[in-house]
């Protein structure tokens, strides 16, 4: 791996492997395509005759492959391609999580502003019932965004809603040959 290999080249390589994965390539195909793509790029930068002299390839194809192997990290193969895809997806997940949290925070601030503007109309001498209803809906939305609502308890039943789920299991067990 050349010493000039840096973060920009890593980001470029990871973007390439992610594009290949999105296009449906398997990791072996990604590794092979990356060697070719980055090799061609290096050969174009150097010029073919200089690249052949530098890498000792006998043909342009062999020189491209040797250049690609030189440019990519040592030991580049499908396992490395997998790691690049995984690291890129992990970073995207982290970025999107932060973005989702930022959006929730902004939405909560907006709802706070609405509450402040409506509160006097709902708590004054002559409260407006539509405003009170609107505030209740805003509070519900705030609780949902902030995750402060208690989870709803659900008691599974049969399709008629008459028997609890567990009694259905017992009933089915009792009516089979095994339960008799």
Instruction: Return d(Cα 71, Cα 174) in angstroms, integer.
Output: 69
Residue 106: per-residue pLDDT: 93
- The reply to whether the predicted model has a pTM over 0.85 is no
Nearest 5°: CA angle at 172, between 167 and 177? Answer: 140
Residue 148: per-residue pLDDT: 87
| pLDDT lower than 70: segments of the chain | 1-5, 153, 165-180
For the stretch 32-80, pLDDT in tens is 999 999 999 999 999 999 999 999 989 999 999 999 999 899 988 999 9
Non-local (6+) Cβ contacts of 39 within 8 A are 63, 64, 65, 66, 67, 68, 69, 71
Residue 147: per-residue pLDDT: 87
| Residue with token string 């659900």 | 154
Residue 3: per-residue pLDDT: 47
Residue 173: per-residue pLDDT: 56
């Amino acid at each position: 791996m050349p010493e000039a290999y840096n973060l920009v080249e890593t980001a470029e390589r990871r973007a390439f492997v992610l594009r290949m994965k999105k296009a449906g390539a398997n990791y072996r195909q990604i590794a092979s395509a990356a060697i070719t793509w980055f090799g061609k790029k290096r050969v174009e930068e150097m010029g073919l005759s200089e690249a052949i002299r530098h890498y000792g390839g006998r043909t342009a194809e062999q020189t491209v492959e040797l250049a690609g192997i030189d440019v990519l990290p040592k030991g580049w193969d499908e396992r490395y391609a997998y790691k690049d895809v995984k690291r890129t997806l992990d970073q995207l997940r982290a970025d999107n999580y932060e973005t989702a949290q930022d959006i929730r925070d902004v939405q909560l601030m907006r709802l706070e502003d609405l509450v402040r503007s409506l509160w006097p109309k709902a708590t004054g001498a002559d409260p407006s019932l539509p405003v009170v209803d609107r505030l209740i809906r805003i509070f519900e939305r705030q609780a949902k965004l902030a995750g402060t609502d208690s989870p709803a308890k659900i008691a599974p039943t049969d399709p008629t809603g008459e028997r609890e789920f567990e009694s259905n299991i017992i009933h089915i067990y009792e009516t089979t040959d095994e339960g008799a």
